[in-house]
Chains A and B, each alone.
Chain A
Amino acid sequence: MNHAFLDKYSNLNSLIHKLDPRTKIITFLLFIVFVITSAPTDYIQFLSYSVIILTVVFLSKVPLGYVFKRVLVIIPFVLLVAIFLPFANKGQEGWIIFGNVMIKSILAVLATIMLSSTTKFHKLLKGFELLKFPKILIMILSFMYRYVFILVDEAQRMERARDSRYFGGEYLRQIKIICNIIGLLFIRAYERGERVYQSMSARGFDGNIITMSKLAYTKIDIYFYIIFIGIIMIIKIWSLF
């Protein structure tokens, strides 16, 4: 069955793809912090940040249409939060904050899109792990990524089974069937969890998560660190005067 993968474009070959996941995590996180802490009316600063992140998008060779679609996905959520701002504040000020929230969130999302779409998911997790993120969280994410597609498959199969025996009609009954499917999906996921745990135990799992670190920084990483952080530092310091 078909699914769109989170790291669909992680197989491309570009400068950004070649970077170590840790490099991307640290620099992009720093970028987001810098964007968020900039003054609301400092348009030159926003413009410079946009140029930087768009350069990264350009360098990564990820199709612009894909990036644009990804950005669109989060807009409704930001709008939902920001839409009341113009009304809560008097006159011009509300609109400035509103615009500010929009620009900042789009820039931040662009950075995270770049991070997630240029890095294979397992490498991304490895990067977070080496940066000393809690192992249990990483393990949960890794299981999620492994099993979410299987769950979707299971749901699709049940839906297909329903469709092949369902001939339309009562609207209320249909809702009931959907509820049953959701319940069943939950039970199946739970039981699968049990079986996966059994297969882990069978291979000696005792609650301690042991992994091997296989990442290594290269020259490109060091150049990227210096250039990227250098540029955003200059912008930040410039804006202070």
Chain B
Amino acid sequence: MKKIIEISNLCYTYPDGKTALENVDLNISKGESVGIVGANGAGKTTLILHINGILRENNGGSIKIIDMEMNDKNVRKIRSKIGLVFQNPEDQLFSPTVFEDVSFGPLNMRLSAEEVIKRSSAALEMVEMSGFENRSSHHLSEGEKKRISIATVLSMNPEILVLDEPTSNLDPKHRRELINLLKKICKTIIIVSHDLEAVLELCDRTVLMNRGKIVKDGKTIEIMKDKKLMEENYLECPLSIKNKIN
């Protein structure tokens, strides 16, 4: 399979001197679904902010996305290929209406008006939120906000979808709906989450992080079965696996 994300030796230090990433190596192929798990402050979010160049390595390392080196020249093009959905929908949805938020990305890609409208309504249809175009974001429910957030990047038709805590703050029904929705999206998907059950269901491969390093990279089921490994890294085996083992 063709490599779509190539990260080698990535290091990042926060302005306050705290090391956030240390020698991270990660290769992801086209069509893979990868979960990134780890304790709070393990560097998961920092890592995904590097994937579309919002943060840049400041301590060595290199990133290549779809054969493009991460630099000032390529960063805009890379961003149009990667849909990054932030954890908090309030940060993701900043426009007065849903339509303006969903069309924000395509407009920045300098697409024609018809194309923008076409893509925006297609994206809203995909997350089953057609008809919400003229609603304002602060009147929506948490589940609706999450869906719209995903639509705001789907409208850009990205090759890679990166989601930060997609299932947080959702009630079980809306969480289930979101998981089913993500299953339908056939793209390279990276999911950062504490919701291990969701990762188990959605991702074949998992990257386990701790203190800015990748501890283990392998099959989701293999990693989550390993009780010792999980507990050493402040996690625990998902209940569904535990029940199977016992």
Contact = CB atoms under 8 A, between A and B. Distances in A.
Interface of A: 121-122, 125, 142-143, 145-147, 149-150, 192, 195-196, 198-206, 210-212
Given A122-B100, A204-B108, A212-B103, A199 B86 contact: yes
Interface string B151-177: 011001000000000000000000000
B218 interface: no
A27 B48 CA distance: 51
DSSP majority for the B interface? helix
Minimum-distance CB pairs A-B, first 8: A122-B96, A204-B108, A203-B105, A195-B91, A202-B84, A210-B107, A199-B92, A196-B94
B113 interface: yes
Contacts of A203: 79, 104-105, 108, 152-153, 156
A199 B138 contact: no
Given A204-B105, A210-B107, A212-B103, 10 more contacts: A122-B100, A146-B94, A195-B88, A199-B86, A201-B54, A202-B52, A202-B79, A203-B152, A203-B153, A205-B108
Q: Is the interface of A mostly helix, strand, loop or mixed?
A: helix
Interface string B39-76: 00000000001001010000000000000000000001
Interface residues of B, number: 34
Contacts of B195: none
Interface of B: 49, 52, 54, 76, 79-80, 82, 84, 86, 88, 90-92, 94-97, 100, 103-105, 107-110, 113, 116-117, 136-138, 152-153, 156
A212 B107 contact: yes
Contacts, number: 74
Contacts of A143: 94
B136 A204 contact: no
A218 to B, nearest CB: 18
A149 B94 CA distance: 12
